[in-house]
A and B are shown apart, each in its own frame.
Chain A
Amino acid sequence: MKRLPRSAAACGIAAVLVLGGGRAARAATPAADAAPPVLQSETAGTTPFPGLTAHELAYSAMDSVGAAPGIRIINGDTARLVGTVYSSQYENFAWAPDNRTLYVSETYWSMGNRGTREDVLSIYGGPTLRNEGEITLPGRLISDPKTNTFALSADGHYAYDYSFQPAPSVSVVDLKQRRVLTSVEIPGCGLVYPFGERGFASLCADGSLAVIDVDAQGHYSVHRNKRFFDIMDDPVMDESIGDAASGLAFFITNNGWVHPVHLGDRPKFDQVWSIEQAAGLSPATSKVGSVTWRPGGQVFAAYQRSTGRLYVLMHEGHPWSSELAGTEIWVLDTGQHRLLQRWEVPESASLVAITPDAHPLLFALSGSGWLWVMNPDSGAVLRAMQIVTPALVKVRGE
């Protein structure tokens, strides 16, 4: 059942107000005769998009009955929909540094469930977020959406797209020349955490980190480091956070261990710390029956660069429950390894995001279709809006 969007009603009201105002203005002017006022016709265009603002968030929808996939932009101050960009299911997306160009990594088949497969990097931009063409990709990973399968270099020159055929590789795309520069083979590894000019790191199936450097001609080197986590007992979660500008990554495990790593050709591993210990609890383990607070959800953590704070969705549960929605948000100081605050979320949340500006908004999103805008200092819920089932979230600079 198609519901009438709220905005259509708002537009109708706006039109009446405009027309009403026009009529009143004409009544004040001395009339040459008693002819009825001529109403102004409207021409339909598209509301301009000035770029993603500081308090806006883009989220993609999990394809499900009742909601088509696509990327929806909402404003956190007004709790309103700003615009929508089309996508296939199983997509990923990223904003260029100008916050006006949107890159969408997606896959289509010519006949829907069959036919010729097309893997593309679609580009949307200009004043109205119009499609500006696409770059053909040599293949892609088809999976439930994961943040770190597609990312841009900090300067926006390159895109890195993790492909899985099922041999894993990364397509390095030159966004200025609009072509694939090279395909990097990364056997046994996956995901992309960009750093520097043309570098990225990938996590590997044996518990190690691979660092890849690409030169301007597309030649690359892959250097695999020693194992730093126990993959079979306590793996690093896919939605661990990396910041392309600084190259700082927080690789967070199921049991809440945080591995801060400065990515680069020679990655530097800082002291590992436990989220539970930061809260004064014993570290979580994978022991059967051990119920404790654990990080979890979909996009379960957000990093605030200006303060060094991590906002993490936490739930109380058994081992191997890393996808259970969080009932609380914990605010952690990554410098002092200390819990600063913990707040309940209204129901439970699977995604969290924080805007990077000086007066930030904290967003919590649930799989049941709610988005809550919260104060990141007090945890107070400022407003709520209904959304479609969310998959990925990005704020400015992501």
Chain B
Amino acid sequence: MIVRACVLALALAATAAIGATPPVSQPGPVTRLSATQVAYLTHCGGCHGIEGISAPGAVPTLQGLTGSFLCTQQGREFIIRLPDVGLSTLSDRELTDVMNFVVFDIGAPVAGGKPARPYTVAEVARLRRQPLTDTGLTAYRNQVVAGLAVRCQVPAALHVYAAPRASTR
């Protein structure tokens, strides 16, 4: 590696042996993350937020809302067919665990419509082979969310994702 950095490492090792400087760290116990949480955080959490809340208007909020998508068959399929979901590098098993985490732990299933069954590996494997890569994604999402709002008691905050985006032309 870099010579100067190595010299620095040696110097610090000397002081560490004497017990001089404790490592710089955040106060409080460290959160232990499950493999599923690690997968969510490294694939999605940067933009969607560590707890599923992010920049309002810039990134869709997941917290409290993703469970609503289980209320219709179209909604249930939609979130697996999203290219960033279905075409992720996670295995079918890993992706199933992450998406169940996203809809049940981050999101919150809602009343009305279809019962909120967890995704199965077979189901996720099938759906991710039909990614929404050649459609106008935003327009389709608006349609899906509009369908959810009709059938189920979805949170008010979800309605913003049914509205057509202001024209960008």
Q: Is the CB–CB distance between A187 and B168 below 8 Å?
A: no
- Chain B contacts to A: CB under 8 angstroms: 1, 47, 58-59, 82-84, 87-89, 131-134, 136-138, 168-169
Q: Report if A205-B87 is in contact (Cβ < 8 Å); known contacts: A166-B59, A187-B132.
A: yes
A–B complex contacts, Cβ < 8 Å, 22 sampled: A138-B168, A165-B58, A166-B47, A166-B58, A167-B137, A167-B138, A180-B168, A183-B169, A185-B136, A185-B137, A187-B82, A187-B83, A187-B84, A187-B137, A188-B83, A205-B84, A205-B88, A206-B88, A208-B87, A221-B134, A224-B83, A224-B133
B141, chain A: closest CB distance, angstroms: 10
Point out the residues of chain A lying under 8 angstroms from B59, CB to CB. 166
Q: Is the CB–CB distance between B84 and A188 below 8 Å?
A: yes
Please classify how large the interface on chain A is, using the bins under 10, 10 to 19, 20 to 34, 35 or more. Answer: 20 to 34
Point out the residues of chain A lying under 8 angstroms from B47, CB to CB. 166
Q: Report if A138-B136 is in contact (Cβ < 8 Å); known contacts: A166-B58, A187-B84, A188-B83.
A: no
- Shortest Cβ distance from A179 into B: residue: B169
Q: Report if A206-B89 is in contact (Cβ < 8 Å); known contacts: A182-B169, A185-B138.
A: yes
Q: Report if A180-B169 is in contact (Cβ < 8 Å); known contacts: A185-B137, A224-B133.
A: yes
Point out the residues of chain B lying under 8 angstroms from A223, CB to CB. 133-134
- Chain A contacts to B: CB under 8 angstroms: 138-139, 165-167, 180, 182-183, 185, 187-188, 204-208, 210, 221-224, 231-232, 318
Q: Is the CB–CB distance between B168 and A232 below 8 Å?
A: no
Q: Is the CB–CB distance between B87 and A222 below 8 Å?
A: no
A346, chain B: closest CB distance, angstroms: 20
CA distance A354 to B101 in the complex (A): 51
CA distance A134 to B83 in the complex (A): 34
Point out the residues of chain A lying under 8 angstroms from B133, CB to CB. 187-188, 210, 222-224
CA distance A206 to B82 in the complex (A): 13
CA distance A104 to B131 in the complex (A): 35
Point out the residues of chain B lying under 8 angstroms from A138, CB to CB. 168-169
- Shortest Cβ distance from B133 into A: residue: A224
Question: B87: which of A165, A180, A206 is its contact (CB, 8 Å)?
Answer: A206
Point out the residues of chain A lying under 8 angstroms from B134, CB to CB. 221-224
Point out the residues of chain A lying under 8 angstroms from B84, CB to CB. 187-188, 205
- Shortest Cβ distance from A163 into B: residue: B168
Point out the residues of chain B lying under 8 angstroms from A224, CB to CB. 83, 87, 131, 133-134
Taking each of A182, A183, A207, A208, which has the highest tally of chain B beta carbons within 10 Å of its own beta carbon?
A183
A114, chain B: closest CB distance, angstroms: 15
